Structure 1
Amino acid sequence: MAIPMKNGQVLRFADFEIDPASRSVLRGGNRLTLNRRAFDVLYFMALHSGEVLSREELLRGVWPDSHVDANSLSQSISALRKALEEKPGENAYIATLPGRGYQFLAPVEVVPTATDTGAGLVQHQEPSSLVFEERTFSHHVVTEERLEERSRRRLMIVGGPIAAMALCVAVGIGVWRARSESGGGHVTAVLADLENDTGDTEFDHTLNKVLQIDLQQSPYFGVVSEGRARRTLKMMRQDPTEALTAPLAREVCQRVNGQVYVVPAIAKLGDRYSLTMQVNACSDGHALGSDRKEVASKDKVLTAWSDLTRRVRRSAGESRSSIKEFDKPLYDEPTSSLDALRAYSEATRLGDGGKFQESIALYQHAVELDPNFAVAYADMSTMYYNIDDKVHDKTAIAKAYAIRDTVNERERFYIELRYAQSVTGDLNALLDSLHRWVATYPQDNLPLSDLVNFETWTGHYPEAAAYADRVAELEQSQNIHNGISYEIAARAYHHANLPDKVRATYAQAMQWKVDTQGLHCVMLEFAAENGDQAEVDRQIAWSRNTPAEAHMLQEAGLAALAAGQAKKADGLFKEARLAATRDKVEDSMPDLDDYYVRMLAEVGLKDRAREMLKVLPPADPSLDRAFTQAEIGDDAAALAAAEHMRAESPQDTLVTAEYVPSVQAVIALQQNRASDAVRLMEASSPFELRDPTIPYLRGQAYLAAHQSAEALREFSELADRPYLADPSAALTNLAHLGEARAYAQEHNEAQADEQYAKFFAAWSAADPDLPILHEARLEEQRTRHP
């Protein structure tokens, strides 16, 4: 008989937990890697623990609306045994009964989760209808899970092109709001759960959320998120769902290297409300300060609560001048709405648990109750961003931006950042906002991390690496080990050509068991450019039978093509498509498919690129697809795509400075208008190293214009620097060929021969029939024997 389940509950067996809401399986706090089908099988079998289930029953029960054969079931069982670390013949959890089926042997119990609010906001769903892909999380709570990767090559024309980044590049500002573990500077605080003796559940969670945001506006304060506090409880072998009482808050505070913990409380005395807050030292628990305030009615609670927060800040040692400068409560009295705040609080809790769509409904309710609730609009835009709804993301953040003067300084920075990201695409405004945020809140890891991300993306690699050092120092001091932090640091170090730091960052992440798909992606690229095929294979093996497999195979395919191995690349991309179909992640394919087709054209396989373009599924306007169209002579389609980019995003920095001019420059080169191509590429100079496309195309333009010295300058930016490419690009090796051609223009045969030799060495394992390789060999012969 199936185990009955209620909303907000998980199944536990041995030291494993199955959470149907997030479609995750945890062991000792670490998430197992399971594909969609394996998870569905495990969940169904655990619900029917002890029962003998025939193959037919499993197929009908797990996939009632899909045709799945017995072989797929066997593969799922095999994947489960591997994930659960069953030894051959052990049958510790799953028994195979010949001629009868399978039996789940482990005793299973149902336990509540920390996100079960009892409010009945989220209904339990059967596994076949759950969404497996976990994306990002809402704005004030850290997550150590993988963030959804997006492509910097797929332009977010409506939602904001500036936000789009390579699949191996961390997602931008919107989702980074999720991982602000501590928002301030000199004091890290843990908030105990509200002691609510009023009998009114409206205050639960709500007042703690107000306290958190009001404290985090101070550069002096950092607040440990509820999610991190709950994970720390679990590490302490405490029930993570239990109330975070003052004694537990103190112990959590010690574990995270905090300095103070705050104990908030509210009680009702007749018709009056008594509010108290006490600040204690984590080291020995002694009181640093305590204050109490009474109000005559419920509608005065929020104002009084903000008054007490100011006193907490003073008790913890913040200066009066700092409190005066950063003193904008989440709610001012004229717009106070406890109902709106409660909806907002519950929305953030749902978003923190990955329930983005459900959280949006509550954010909408919050702004219906209070149309001037700027923070709610901002966080709602983040949720839309996370589900890839660009239109509503743009609308919500525009509303927040229009009333940004109503929020505190920290929230204002965030709103300005998101507006630049999703609405205007103004890269200068985005970076300016980030730099001001870091200057104002130097101990806040959110803007620091985003600076690593965006400085990397814009090609400022030394600066990105320096910020990565600061993030690492800050998070280590707070005992934070976050997978996405390691990922963006590894990427920054990779592009800055700091291989020892790349290896050290990856090793440390593996040591703490906090990794991401993007981190493994960086390591695959790093291994490929260093000729370490064994490590490339290990990274692919990590992804096998997971939703990450398709993307990792695409990355490996691009690395093969960068070495001139087009046949191997084609096989890897075909394998990737099969994996994507199996895991139902086909929508993640177009970005690197477009890039792959473009690289095929770059290595001379234009007919192959032309045929692939015909079968690629429709997608948002893509720089790479437009490039390919221009390369193969479809000028009308390429120009139409470029004009669409410009019309949809007229203020976007990269659209106007790089994307549109680059496509026009390719067409100019195809039409023998070299001087026009040189002129068109002038606007992209500030982003010279952001993308190998820029120096490579500029080099080609100068070469066609017979400006060999300028061409050499551009090609030398790429040659022998494969770490500039993300993903792997043939352009860094083709740059040697560009240099050889430029030297040949100057009749410098010795230097030309040297560069031809370097190109042939880099492509020593290349397919011998590649057109561009054949051209290069003929050119070399002509150089030696004019």
Structure 2
Amino acid sequence: MVLRSKTSARLTAKDTVLLADFVNTTGDAVFDGTLKQALAVQLEQSPYLNIVPESKIREALRLMGKPPDERLTNDVAREICERQSIKAMLAGNIASLGDHYVITLAALNGANGDALAREQVEVDRKEQVLKALDKAASNLRQKMGESLSSVQQFATPLEQATTPSLDALQAFSLGQAEHLKTKDQAAIPHLRRAVELDPNFALAYATLGVACINTTRLTEGVEALKKAYELRDRASEREKLYIQAHYYEEVTWDMERTLSVYAEWRQTYPRDTLPYDNAALTYSILGQHEKALDFASRAMRLDPRDAFAYQNLGSAYLALNRLDEARSIADEAIAQKLDGSEVHTMLADIAYIRGDWTAYDRQIDWARGTQDEPFMLFWKAAGLAAKGQLNASHQTWQQTQLELTNAGLKDLSGALLTLEASNDALLGYPATGRQKASRALELSRDRDVRGLSAEAFAFTGDLAKSASLLADATRDFPDYRFLSHVLAPLVQSEEYLQKNQPDKAIAALEPARSYEMGTGPRSGGFMPNHLRGTAYLKLGDGVKAAAEFQRILDHQGVSAWDVVYPLARLNLGRALALQGENAKARTAYQDFFAAWKDADPDIPILKTAKAEYAKLN
């Protein structure tokens, strides 16, 4: 039985709605947090309702002097509405009446608490609660102003959009709460429990996949997202978009299809910040930083408290070498307590580029004693290598590897070890590069580790091992475009260079052209330009070679601590010498030596550079 009260006012599409915590007086803990989560899933399907995001709620609680995880009782929710000029709040209650359950939903005026609409339903079994809540929420959406056609189109039943299991939904609710606070380590056990209780819980698999990838449990994350994609028809329209986007981005690395999903998402749910945030991130991977800047700015206009918008906006400015603006965004994020490791890494990048080592050390030390410490140590190790301080870099790498291995993050440990192997090879230590690439494969057989190991072996000159690894990885992961469109072209280009076939090396790089100057762990970065420039050097075309290396030098913010960056100074000198521009070539060599003034003196590439410079004089 459903009882309805008269609607006293209707919301407009521009009004915001705050979802309060459910009041559970049944004594059954399975309803704690669970019904609010279920109601959120139902209401967030609506393109009409504008649910207040968690970021705004946390900020309001902070201004009220309350902890960010304060329970949103009706009184607390009312106060937030008054402070934030929120039009309405939704309150829910479940009570037991003998053997029955009574569920009440009420839309209340945010200013005075007057009822705007109310729904009440009574069921005689616990198993009927979700279905009854679903019906009541759909009715409430209509009474708050949403059209019947919209409610019918965007109203996937809760038992299909989530799960018929209250226990699974409770576990998911606990995990989702941690995930929304960016505490993915704490979220993962709850999300694993949710899919254990209901192996068909698509949304739980999707959230588990994202949480695992965020914490670099890459293999588990990819498998969870694959499962979510298989079950995507058991999700609401909004969550289906979420699943598809993450599947294309993380599982197949199909950036074009990813962007297409985000475009559909923005069209259907124009007030959601997530498709703007993630489109910005995708464009940064593609090296299209002006577009990344645009989408990050649009996300921030939708929600000025969106932490992801700050990260993406600052990263775009950094990649465009607009360092003052990147610094301003990072400082603002810190002032608003929206900073995480990404913001402090950004500040470390800026300090590194400017040579402000006091500020640089301050950012590295920020992570000391936190779960982010291994990541900042990795950046420190990479930065030392890019300054030619390879012995110190190796010591920091070892510390990073130990912490990651002890934390059980073998996929990440293996991936980072392949990067160290490539650095060693590029600087003239192929034997140690081969040893580290082999050790990486002992740590993990993750698809990225296998592909990056193939790249490292190519740089060491072990072309047979490189080709074998690449062939095996491509066979095992035929749909993974990071392998086929980025790593495979890079490996093949390096192989052609070592076989003294520079024309073929240039041609092999064409599939990677769309990904050069991209940021992030899976992107082209500087490497396509480095290899193309090296091929032009072999062809004796100093003009085209110089253009490739200059493009790297003009965009240090793309990858501030990449060892390829200082090598671009050296290679620019070589390209200028080919053109007969000896004075300019000497300046380029001197820039390289200045950048490496504190470098280990016995590095082979440094010895070679000094010998070449002597001949220019």
Conserved in 2, the CA contact under 8 Å of 1:675 and 1:701?
Answer: yes
Question: What letter corresponds to residue 559 of structure 2 in structure 1?
Answer: A
CA contact (8 A) 2:420 2:436 kept: no
Aligned to 1:290: 118
In the TM superposition, 1:389-538 aligns within 5 A as: 393-476=221-304, 480=305, 482=307, 485-538=309-362
Distance 1:435 1:310 in 2: 26
Residue equivalent to 1:120: none
Distance of aligned partners of 1:336 and 1:247 in 2 relative to their CA distance in 1, 3 Å threshold: closer
Of 168, 171, 194, the residue aligned with 2:22 is 194
2:174 to 346, 349, 371: 349
SS, match of residue 552 in structure 2: coil
Match of 1:717 in 2: 551
Question: What TM-score, normalized by structure 2, do the two folds share?
Answer: 0.83
Deviation at 1:765, TM superposition (A): 4.0
Q: Following the alignment from structure 2 to structure 1, what is the Cα–Cα distance between the partners of residues 40 and 615?
A: 72
Alignment of 1:651-666 (within 5 A): 651-666=479-494
* 2:612 is equivalent to residue 779 of structure 1: yes
Encode CA deviations 1:42-67: one digit per residue, 9 max, x unaligned: xxxxxxxxxxxxxxxxxxxxxxxxxx
Give secondary structure in 2 for the equivalent of 1:360: helix
Instruction: Determine the structure 1 residue equivalent to 2:444.
Output: 619
Percent identity, please: 30
How many equivalent pairs are there? 589
Classify the secondary structure of the residue corresponding to 1:193: coil
1:272 CA drift (Å): 6.8
1:270 Cα deviation from its structure 2 partner: 7.3
For residues 583 and 247 of structure 2, the distance between their equivalents in structure 1, rounded to whole angstroms, comes to: 54
Determine whether 1:699 maps to 2:524: no
How far apart are residue 570 of structure 1 and its match? 3.7
TM-score (norm 1): 0.67
Q: Is the 8 A contact 2:162 2:203 kept in 1?
A: no
Instruction: Decide whether the 8 Å contact of 1:232 with 1:252 is kept in 2.
Output: yes
Q: Could you tell me whether the CA contact under 8 Å between 2:386 and 2:563 is conserved in 1? A: yes
- What's the counterpart of residue 170 of structure 1? none
Q: 1:256 to 1:607 in 2, by over 3 A?
A: farther
Matched residue type, 2:197: H
Distance 1:237 1:699, change over 3 A: closer
CA displacement, residues 454-486 of structure 1 (integer Å, 9 cap, x when unaligned): 22222121111222222333332xxx364x554
* Consecutive unaligned residues in structure 1, runs of 5 or more: 1-183
Three-state SS of the structure 2 residue aligned to 1:425 is coil
In structure 1, the residue corresponding to 2:490 is in which secondary structure?
Answer: helix
1:667 paired with 2:499, answer: no
Higher mean Cα deviation, 622-631 or 197-206?
A: 197-206
Q: Tell me the CA shift for residue 244 of structure 1.
A: 3.8
> Cα RMSD (Å) of the superposition?
3.6
Q: Which residue of 2 aligns with 1:366?
A: 198
Q: Corresponding residue for 1:45?
A: none
Q: 1:568 to 1:720 in 2, by over 3 A?
A: farther
Secondary structure class of the residue paired with 1:442: coil
- CA separation of 1:582 and 1:537: change in aligned 2, threshold 3 A: farther
The structure whose RCO (Cα within 8 Å, separation 6+) is larger is: 1
Give the Cα–Cα distance (whole angstroms) in 2 for the partners of residues 213 and 246 of structure 1. Answer: 20
CA contact (8 A) 1:527 1:535 kept: yes
Deviation by residue 1:303-344 (Cα, 9 ceiling, x = unmatched):
443333234334444455543443333336xx9975x14422
Which SS does the other structure have where 1:288 is aligned? Answer: strand
Partner of 1:638: 466
Asked whether the equivalents of residues 740 and 754 of structure 1 are also in contact (C-alpha less than 8 Å), the reply is: yes
- Letter of the aligned partner of 1:712 in structure 2? A
The 3 A distance-change label for structure 1 pair 287 and 385 is same
1:560 alignment counterpart: 384
Partner of 1:152: none
Equivalent residues in 2 for 1:159-308 (5 A)?
186-196=14-24, 203-224=31-52, 236=64, 244-255=72-83, 258-266=86-94, 274-293=102-121, 301-308=129-136
Aligned CA distance change for structure 1 residues 407 and 226 (closer, same or farther; 3 Å): same
Post-superposition offset of 1:246: 2.3
Residues 695 and 714 in structure 1, CA contact (< 8 A), matched pair in contact too: yes
State the partner residue of 1:747. Answer: 580
The CA distance in 2 between the partners of 1:255 and 1:652, in whole Å, is 48
Unaligned runs of 5+ in 2: 1-11, 179-185, 519-524
Aligned in 2, Cα 1:542/1:743: closer, same or farther, shift over 3 Å? same
CA displacement at 1:413 relative to structure 2: 0.3
SS at match of 1:710: helix
Partner residue of 1:136? none
Is the contact made by 2:162 and 2:169 (CA closer than 8 Å) also made in structure 1? no
CA distance in 2, matches of 1:272, 1:560: 67
Letter in 2 for 1:206: T
Structure 1 185/436 Cα, relative in aligned 2: closer, same or farther at 3 Å?
Answer: farther
> Is this contact kept in 1: 2:205–2:227, CA < 8 A?
yes
